[in-house]
Structure 1
Amino acid sequence: MRRKVIAGNWKMNKTPREVRSILTDMKDKICTEGVDVLFCVPAISLVAAVESVKGTDIAIGAENMFYEEQGAYTGEISASMLVDAGVKYVILGHSERRQIFGEDNTVINMKVKKAIEHKIIPIICCGETLEQREHGVTLEFVEEQIRSAYYNVSREEAHDTIIAYEPIWAIGTGKVATSAQAQEVCADIRGCIERIYDRETADAIRILYGGSVNASNAEELFAMPDIDGGLVGGASLKPEFADIVEFGRKSI
């Protein structure tokens, strides 16, 4: 059985001082037995976050990463920098990076391969707009994102990656896909992975749902057979995150 993953994405919120305060308080309220729990925080707060959860099983992830080792890339952060800071995960291909910063499938694939090279677990995001869902092209669009992300990634390399399905129309809007809608797409993503690799790899890769996940809908979402946890936005900054983690534990 796949181990559940409950990941918080803090986006551009909280200073290093606030990160220390929140994590110091929250880590004592979270039970990580049987689940993987992590917080993805702004780059400036990564070291503070790693220090704050030291001695626990809570991991820290980055919200983005560049695909070059070093050089004249003002404002970027490399995989080796993340490793040195103690980071274990990185979110790649989030819709905000795609839509606001113009990252395309080719760039995301380069980042995925660089993360794998440095043994950072990539959380590869995919998801459709409301217009695409209404036009009935959700599955085709998401499959294209997945195939592009895993281009020239070997079966062995893909095994420990994580995918996060986040319908763009549900991110930060308070709207959430029904459990049936989320399950349908996550099942198709697993089928896509099987077509790229094989059934064993498809069964191994963990697929999360993201998009206004909170304590009131987490239990139903996590009960779906192809949803292996959540990429949690705003709720991961609140005490209810501990409840979301608990729902993940109960769904094992």
Structure 2
Amino acid sequence: MRKPIIAGNWKMHMTIESGKAFVKEVAASLGDTEVEVVLCVPFTLIQPLSTAAEGTPVKIAAQNMHYEDFGAFTGEVSADMLKEVGATYVVIGHSERRQYFNETDETVNLKLKKAHASGLKPIVCCGETLEEREAGTTESVVKRQVEAAFEGISPELAAETVVAYEPVWAIGTGRTATAAQAQEVIAYIRSLVEAKYGDEVSEEMRIQYGGSVKPDNVEEIMNEVDIDGALVGGASLKPDSFLSLVNF
């Protein structure tokens, strides 16, 4: 059985002190949770929050990384740098990285390979825009993104990769794909994985839904057979709200 994974993506929010207070409050309420709990935090928070989360179920993720080990890449951070300060997960190819920072299918693939080579656990994102959904091209867009991301990735590493389906039109808009809509696309993603790697890998891979997930809709979403978790933005910024998601 796949272990549920709830990941809060803080984007460009929180300071060290507010982040440490958040981790302390959440960790104190988790107990022996059967959910994998991840916080995707700004670079400056990774080390202090990794320290604050020691001995708790909370794992810390970076929101991005470069695919090279070092070089003249001003403003970028490598996988080894992230590991050194305590990150265990890394988000790759979030739609905001694609939209605002020129992330491409090719760079997503390079980053996925580097994350695995460096021992970071990747959460790789895919999803269509509103225009693509309305044009009826959701499946072709998602297929292109998933196939490009996993080019050259072994079955063993694919099984360890978390995929986050995030329809761009539902991120930060208040609009949410219905549970049925999310299930339909995530089942399609699982079928793509099965076609490439076989049934065993497709059944092992965890696939999240992301896009305006909130405490009042998370249970319905998580009840779908192929949805293994959520990648959550705004609703992950307050401890009580995030705990409601984890305790779906």
Q: 3-state SS of the aligned residue for 1:201?
A: helix
Shift of 1:9: 0.3
The answer for unaligned runs of 5 or more in structure 2 is none
The offset of 1:32, in angstroms, is 5.0
Where does residue 41 of structure 2 map in the other structure? Answer: 41
Aligned residue for 2:247, secondary structure, equals helix
- Aligned pairs for 1:1-252 (under 5 A) are 1-31=1-31, 33-238=33-238, 239-247=240-248
On the 8 A contact 2:215/2:244 being kept in 1, the answer is yes
Q: CA deviation at 1:230?
A: 0.3
Query: Once superposed, what is the RMSD of the aligned Cα atoms?
Result: 0.9
Unaligned runs of 5+ in 1: 248-252
Deviation (angstroms), 1:18: 1.7
Deviations 1:159-209 (A, max 9, x none): 110000000000011110001100000000000001111111001110000
Q: Which residue of structure 2 lines up, in the alignment, with residue 250 of structure 1?
A: none
Report if aligned partners of 1:31, 1:246 keep a CA contact under 8 Å in 2.
no
Letter in 2 for 1:244: L
CA distance in 2, matches of 1:41, 1:53: 13
1:32–1:58 contact (8 Å) kept in structure 2: no
For the Cα contact (< 8 Å) 2:27–2:57, is it kept in 1?
no
- How far residue 16 of structure 1 moved from its aligned partner, in angstroms, is 1.5
Q: Hey, which bits of structure 1, 4+ residues long, moved more than 3 A?
A: none
CA contact (8 A) 2:126 2:145 kept: yes
Separation (CA, whole Å) in 2 of partners of 1:81 and 1:227:
32
Q: CA deviation at 1:71?
A: 1.5
TM-score by length of 1: 0.96
Q: 1:191 aligns to what SS in structure 2? A: helix
Partner of 2:209: helix, strand, or coil? strand
Secondary structure of 2:231's match? strand
CA contact (8 A) 1:93 1:108 kept: yes
Aligned length: 247
* Aligned residue type for 2:93: G
* CA separation of 1:216 and 1:62: change in aligned 2, threshold 3 A: same
> How does the TM-score come out when normalised to structure 2?
0.98
Q: Distance in 1 between matches of 2:33 and 2:14?
A: 27
